[in-house]
A = this chain, B = another copy of it.
């Protein structure tokens, strides 16, 4: 069983046998830089556990500009929950920023595990709880932290992003223009 799966689904209620079953529901997949895992308007039928690489999520602005909504890095779950769990078209697009290796699990397989392994639904609830917390922190950061602080924080938490993502896309994630980000970088380098 791939190490990445065991560590991603770590939970006190999940036995080694449970993990075996969970692992068996995942298929290994690779994707090239620039390719999309999910496009706006499509309905998701699976989510992905990212073994290595970098994936970006974005939505389109009222006038067609991309706004980056998320960066996914090693060990994280690449997913658009609304589309997958409400079975509706996604507003977000998922695109690989580097060649990536991931483990896909289809909705049906997930559903079967969710209702047959108690520890798995516990794990799921915990995952949601943490996601919700992270999103709340992000909203709070938008309110109480300066753009400079948000940039430094992102650099610290996801340094890979700096390496593979154009500033413009980082800027939209931070809620500023690429021009401002450029000035912030200049100021920091001082």
**Which positions in A face B, CB cutoff 8 Å?**
59, 61-62, 67, 69, 81-82, 85-86, 114-115, 118, 121, 124-126, 128-133, 135-136, 138-140, 142-144, 172, 175
Copy number in the complex reads 2
Which residues of B lie under 8 Å from residue A124 when comparing CB positions? Answer: 125
With both chains docked as a complex, state the minimum distance between the C-beta of A137 and any C-beta of chain B, in angstroms.
10
Which residues of B lie under 8 Å from residue A133 when comparing CB positions? Answer: 81-82
- Between A and B, 24 residue pairs with Cβ closer than 8 Å are A61-B144, A62-B144, A67-B140, A67-B143, A69-B139, A81-B133, A82-B129, A82-B132, A82-B133, A85-B126, A114-B121, A114-B125, A121-B121, A124-B125, A125-B125, A128-B129, A132-B135, A135-B135, A135-B139, A138-B139, A139-B139, A139-B142, A142-B142, A143-B175
